[in-house]
Each structure stands twice: as structure tokens, then as C-alpha cells.
Amino acid sequence: MSALDNLPVVVIGAGPVGLAAAAHLHERGIAFTVLEAGDTAGAAVRQWGHVRVFSPWRYNIDPAARRILEDAGWVAPDADALPTGGELVAGYLQPLAELPALKHHLRYGARVEAISRLGLDRLRTAGRETTPFLIRLADGEELLARAVIDASGTWGIPNVLGASGLPARGEADVAAYREHALPDVLGQARDRFAGRHTLVVGAGHSAANTLLSLAELAGSTPGTEVTWAIRSASPSRTYGGGDADALPARGALGSRLRAHVDAGRIRLLTGFSVQALTPAGDRVSVAVRHTAGGEEAITVDRIVAATGFRPDHSITAELRLDLDPVMGATRALAPLIDPNEHSCGTVPPHGVDELAHPETGYYAVGMKSYGRAPTFLMATGYEQVRSVVAALAGDWQAARDVQLDLPETGVCNSNPDDSATGDSCCGSTSATEPTGRGLATGISGGLLAAPLGLVTLDAAPADAATGGCCGS
């Protein structure tokens, strides 16, 4: 008997994908522990609970989770309805986390600080695959595991505002004026934006949703100004596929945004990169450079950094990971999801083989598995964990029988011709084409309100990690 056989699989994160992993582990009869840094299940989703996703419920519920919920008498929401993040938590994630099959295996307030192998650093090879994982928590406690499924996501690590992937000069000095992606513009955060000038930086769906909320606020509150800055020469990627999108709500998002820009309710700045930020009284002066040449300064009250997210691999510094140098995903997965190259809806199904590292037994899944790519849908994560758990159970036939059918975006890639003027950067994409096999998008699957699965989730490409045709 191996030293690993009596140890649990440790799942990091109790969001949609982490809880789905727990459901699959339960069904397979594999002991597990879920470590969640927050105080509740879906802690990150709750932070954008005001946002309505553009993927209907049918894409947001993991099959294994559905089975154990329904066995307990749970009634699924309307498959065609579009939930908010709050509804996703209240109607699905919280009931799932409260099931006896999962509840007693969840630990809250358990932030993972590092993962290694018991008694081995990254250099030691002999006996590595049969040595337990060592998980150290922020409070110093240590746990052992037979395998690790890292579904910790990327929500807490936003990309910087500055160009070249580096913080703009003075960026740290204006933290008080900077907003995380998806602020509750029409709700709890209303007073921070009403009657003020807000600059939104980013070209993804989270930027679009915030812009739509700000435009609505500007329509009812005098003095509210909205400026939108993107690094590309055209907003066509953000406007997306319009009527050609298999998710109508996602297609409508770009159409509504275009209407506000065309009407002058949102000022659009293209070819724009932030160089420096300087406090100016109770406002912020933003020094920008235009790709066409020249610099200028814009003074605003608030800045929303909708510039995407990146994974934190620091906790795995003593593990042997094979990460693509560009995407930060596994080397096998990276070319399938690279927003510089791939066509939306054409990414092939992927599972345990594409997610595996030289460190046997460690798998990053969900948003974290995609590195800096914004093209993630919650349903993708569900299929990832189904495949990974099947492999951990020794069922390699099921692990490699990966099926992934997702709604197409109606746009071809994240590097369209900036001169395109149609609703779709694909040109000839038909709205009547069947749903394709491959990717859709979002922080957790696709955010609609105003913005994964979402997550969504929860949602960066060639435009300096700010989103794209498939972007979040």
C-alpha cells in the first residue's frame, strides 16, 4: 500500500469549479478536503453578486453537483434564465456546499500559502511520485494530500493599468481612486460614481458591463461622465458577434455598448496606454500615450481597472510545473486557448492530459488553468474536473473521453482586422449556425448585467490582457 492511499485529495477553492470537483470526488468515493480562503462558498462570486451572467443556468450547473443536489430534493432553476452572481450562490453554490456529502469536508478561512512534497524540495527526484503533498496554510498549519486540485482562480490578482505588463508610474499612489473590476455602480458603490468622471480601462466583457452601468447612471444623475480607454485601434473585439452570438445576452452586450458610444454618452479613446498616474487634489491625473503618437493628460475622479487577471503560481514554487512562457497555462493547453491565435468556439475539448504537469498529482483547473487567457467558461471547468477526478480514480477511459459543447461567440478570434465595421469580426458568421464545440467566455463564464460558468468568472488577450472577441 502506498503512503498516499489513506490521504485525501485537497481541493483549493470553494467556487463553482472547486465545488464541482468535490461533487465528483464524492461520487467516486475518494476522500477529499476543500480549502477555501473566504468565509463562505463562492466567496469570489459574491463580490460580483450584482452582475448578471450571460450564460443561462443550463451551462452553470455541474452534472455531478446536479445529481447529488437532486437526490437531496433540490429543484433546479429555469434552465434558460440568466442568474446574477448572487443568485448563482444562493440558488446553487450554497445549497451544494451545505449538503452533508460536502459540508463536513469544507474548511473556510483556510488560505493556502505553499504547496510542496513532504520532505522534498523541487530538486529531489527519488520517490517523488509516492511522497505526499504538503500544503501549508497561512496560519502555519500543514496538511498532507495524495493529490491537489487547485481551483483557486484569479479574481484576487488583477492585471496592472500600465502598458508593457508593468504598473504605470505612480499606480500604487492612486490606489484610493482605483476600482477593482465590476464595481456595483448602480448599488452599493453608487455614491463613488454619481456626478463624477470615471475612466474605464479595458476591452473585455467586464469593462463593457461596467460601462453600461455607468451609462445608465449618467442618464439619471447630472454631472456623471464616462470615458472608455482601450489599447487597440478599434472596439470591434468588445462589440463582439452581435446577432451571431449563440448566447443572445452576450451578443446584446456589445450592441448596447456600441449604441452608447455612437450616441456620445460614452467617450471612447482608442490606441491608448496609461503611462503615469498622479494624485491631483481629490482627483487623478492620467498621463497617456497614443499609439499614433503624442501624449496627453486626462483628469478623472475614479478609474476602473477592467484589465483582466493573472494566476498566482507562487504557492507552487517548490513543485515541478511546466508552464507556457506566454500564457501561464500548461504547455499542452496554451496553444488551444491562446487568444492571439484561436477561433472562438473551435478550441478542442481538453482534460487531464492537457492539464497534467511533471509534478504528478497536481492539477490547476478552472480560471487558474487558463493562465492569462480570458476565454474561459464555467462549463469548461466542470469538464476539466470530471476528467481529472476520473483519472485520480484510475478510470482513464472516462478521463480521456472529454466532451465539451459550448455556445459560440459569433466572432472569430481576438486579433480581428481593426478596420472591420460589421457587428462581427468574423464577417460571414451566421446567427443560424449550430452551437459549436469549443470556448465561450467570461470572468466566470460570461458577465452580462449592465456585465465565467461564467466565471464568468468571474472574465487577457493581445490587447494587453484587457479582453477580446472571446474575452471576459
pLDDT digits (tens, 9 = 90+) for 311-324: 999 999 999 999 99
User: What is the distance between the alpha carbons of residues 231 and 252, in angstroms, rounded to a whole number?
Assistant: 23
Sequence letter at residue 432: T
Residue with cell 495524495: 146
Residue 246 near residue 288, CB atoms below 8 Å: no
For residue 419, pLDDT beyond 70 = no
The pLDDT assigned to 186 comes to 96
Residue whose C-alpha is closest to residue 438's, from 417, 408, 416: 408
- Burial state string for 307-329 with b = 16 or more CB within 10 A and e = fewer than 16: bbbbbeeebbebbebebbeebbb
> For 53-71, how does the pLDDT look when each residue is reduced to its tens digit (9 = 90+)?
878 899 899 999 999 999 9
Q: What is the pLDDT of residue 347?
A: 64
Average pLDDT over every residue of 286-304: 89
**Mean pLDDT across 264-285:** 93
CB 376 within 8 A of CB 404: no
Helix ranges (H only) for 351-448 are: 352-355, 378-392, 396-400
Burial of 333 (0-12, 13-18, 19+ CB in 10 A): buried
Query: Would the pLDDT of 241 be above 80?
Result: no
Burial 375-384 (b: 16+ CB within 10 A, else e): bbbbbbbbbb
Contact 13, 366 (CB under 8 A): yes
Can you give the pLDDT at residue 242? 56
The grid cell for 368 is 487558474
Given this model, what pLDDT does residue 249 score?
61
Lowest mean pLDDT: which of 8-17, 122-131, 155-164, 405-414? Answer: 405-414
Residue 128's pLDDT band, with cuts at 50, 70 and 90, is very high
Place of cell 477526478: 389
* CATH, domain 163-305, list 3.30.56.10, 3.50.50.60, 3.60.15.10, 3.40.50.300: 3.50.50.60
How much of the chain, in percent, has pLDDT values that exceed 70?
81
Confidence of residue 217 (pLDDT cuts 50, 70, 90): very high
Total Cβ atoms within 10 A of residue 249: 18
Strand order in the sheet with 9-12: 106-108, 32-36, 9-12, 147-150, 362-364
Which residues are CB-contacts of 234 (< 8 A; sequence separation ≥ 6)? 270, 416, 418, 419, 420
Of the given ranges (29-33, 96-100, 125-129, 238-242), which has the lowest mean pLDDT? 238-242
Instruction: Report the 10 Å Cβ neighbour count for 234.
Output: 19
pLDDT bucket at 442, cuts 50 / 70 / 90: very low
pLDDT at residue 408 above 70? no
pLDDT one-digit tens code per residue, 368-407: 999 988 878 888 999 999 999 999 999 999 999 998 776 5
Decide if domain 9-156+310-400 falls under CATH 3.50.50.60.
yes
Task: Please list the residue range(s) of the chain that carry CATH number 3.50.50.60.
Answer: 9-156+310-400, 163-305
Our measurement of the distance from residue 368's CA atom to the centroid of its chain's CA atoms, rounded to an integer in Å, reads 8
Nearest to 311 by CA among 334, 291, 285, 293: 334
